Amino acid sequence: MSEMYTTYAKQYDSAARDNIYNALLERPSTMALLDDVKDMDIVDLGCGSGIYAQWFIDQGANKVTCTDLSQDMVDLVNGKLIPNVTAYAQDAALGLPNEQDNSADVIVCPLVLHYIEDLKPVFDDIHRVLKPGGYIVFSTHHPFADFECTISGNYYEREFIQEEWNTVGTPVQVSFYRRSLTELCQAVTQSGLLISNITEGTIDEKAKEISQATYERLSKNVNFIFLRCEKAPT
């Protein structure tokens, strides 16, 4: 796990609230795929510092269960004392083993899956935990954007990539998996989930006020991909 989500957890929380990639691209694009969440039981898989959890409660959700690999992030969420929000440490690569079958109306998984090597166990467990008729919305690195990082030159080969990011104001090493769109979609559909919507996100024009150059790049090139996937009703 990168130090960005442990040592620099508080700095990440501050940055993610307002920066271009999280606040003005990822979150609005993920939220656009959600229905009304009033009175819903929600799981935030890879919750980070709880920004989504607070938003869900503000929208009238019944309860939000947050999981994250980083105990530092979990401590941040629990420290915010958000009503009807609970958080605990859990490796997302193992799914949601502590959650009951057919217990969640909605699962959200923002910018987590590219850190996981094998997605099949994750989506199998998401299918188990969702109520019939429930759905997951997730975001991850766009396979076309990540292909710029390829070492092998083979788009269809899953690759372990290491980079240095400056999200928290200081350079931090980050590692993730680059995979094809086919691999991503097959992990979803082989679990029994049905893909109902795919978008590539829309950058908010407010980003111009922070960086015109970054806004121009993100308005013309892919960066993340967003999927909504449904569990069939019984």
* CATH number of the domain within which 20 lies: 3.40.50.150
% pLDDT > 70, the chain: 94
Within 10 angstroms of residue 133's Cβ, the number of other Cβ atoms is: 11
In a domain, 88, yes or no: yes
In a domain, 202, yes or no: yes
| pLDDT tens sequence across 52-61 | 999 999 999 9
In a domain, 149, yes or no: no
In a domain, 12, yes or no: yes
Looking at the 3D structure of the chain, how many domains does it have?
A: 1
- pLDDT at position 165, please? 74
Whose tokens are 């960086």? That residue is 211
- pLDDT at position 4, please? 46
In a domain, 150, yes or no: no
Contact 15, 185 (CB under 8 A): no
pLDDT in tens, the chain (234 residues): 555 466 556 776 677 778 899 999 999 999 999 999 999 999 999 999 999 999 999 999 999 999 999 999 999 999 999 999 999 999 999 999 999 999 999 999 999 999 999 999 999 999 999 999 999 999 999 999 999 999 999 999 999 999 887 776 777 888 999 999 999 999 999 999 999 999 999 999 999 999 999 999 999 999 999 999 999 998
- pLDDT at position 3, please? 57
In a domain, 106, yes or no: yes
In a domain, 151, yes or no: no
Contact 76, 9 (CB under 8 A): yes
- pLDDT at position 120, please? 96
- pLDDT at position 34, please? 98
- pLDDT at position 6, please? 61
Q: Which domain holds residue 136?
A: 3-142+180-230
In a domain, 59, yes or no: yes
